[in-house]
Amino acid sequence: MGRKKVYEVTLSQAEHDHLKNLVSTGVAKARHLTHARILLKASEGWTDEQIREALDVGQATVGRIRKRYAEEGLEGALHRRPPRRQYARKIDGQTEAHLIALVCGEAPAGYARWSLRLLSERLVTLEAVEIESVSHETVRQTLKKTNLNLGRINSG
């Protein structure tokens, strides 16, 4: 089994002062403060195990912060990366219009009202809509945007 690589943390005086100031004021997010404390302890020569016990964080967290400091610098170690994944919308405007028309129409035979799962199944089977699959959660989020309420009974 290979030996784990330990990334060395050597802070410049300016970085050290910045982290000390960040920790002493305590006005940053808790995650940033914890990451700052990890970097300060690591630069003082503490082992990952000592840092983990002193700060009550996981071993992987200490290693990850050391690695991010080595690869991305101080800002990369303190702040989270924005997500890289791009989420493609399954329901576009035309599909949303068909969904709203379904909701406003009569429920299928044997049902008192539309459920989210019924709507997602019916939306997939519509010929006017070209969609292979859609989850009931996507239907819920779309309907929430439009302020429609499936459970509300109109009392006139």
Q: What is the pLDDT along the chain (156 residues), one digit of tens a residue?
A: 445 667 889 999 999 999 999 999 988 899 999 999 999 999 999 999 999 999 999 999 999 999 999 999 999 999 988 888 888 888 888 899 999 999 988 999 999 989 999 999 999 888 888 888 899 999 999 998 887 666 666 544
Whether the CB-CB separation of 4 and 64 falls below 8 Å is answered with: no
Its pTM stands at 0.58
Domain ranges in the chain? 13-78, 93-145
CA distance 131 to 123: 8
Q: Which residues contact 117 (CB under 8 A, 6 or more apart)?
A: 136
